[in-house]
Amino acid sequence: MTLFVDRKKAFEAKFVHDANLDFKTEARRNKMLGNWVADQLTLDGDTSDELIASYAIAGVLPRDVHCIVAKATADLNGKASADVIEAKLSEFTAVARQQIQSA
């Protein structure tokens, strides 16, 4: 019986670890996207920091990629298409995952 209990605990620990890794990756990715949007809009200083923070908050609840893409599309107002933004999200996801795993 302890074998099954041990396996269950290991599975639960892996699930928690993976969920935590996903959350950290998404948070870092959203911050990178906010930074990219601020660069595209040539913002600096406090305005840039506020925009980047809004992306960090926007990605927390709900954790939906479409909300982030819609926000970036609206903020950029035609400077980048949804396809470009989704490509950037994929790129930033890979970079963020690598940064977190190597830390």
CATH at 94: 1.10.790.20
What pTM was computed for the model?
0.85
The domain tally of the chain equals 1
**Does some domain include residue 2?**
no
The single residue listed with the structure tokens 């996801």 is: 93
**59 lies in a domain?**
yes
Going by pLDDT thresholds of 50, 70 and 90, the confidence category of residue 73 is: very high
The reported pLDDT for the residue numbered 28 is 93
The neighbour count for residue 20, using CB atoms within 10 Å, is: 11
Residue 1 lies in a domain: no
DSSP state of 61: S
CB 27 within 8 A of CB 56: yes
Q: The tokens of 14 are what?
A: 């892996």
Buried b (16+ CB within 10 A) or exposed e, 60-69: eeeeebeebb
What are the tens digits of pLDDT across the range 84-102? Answer: 999 999 999 999 999 999 9
The per-residue pLDDT for range 14-72, each reduced to its tens digit, is 999 999 999 999 999 999 999 999 999 999 899 999 999 999 888 776 677 888 999 99
Query: Domain for residue 31, yes or no?
Result: yes
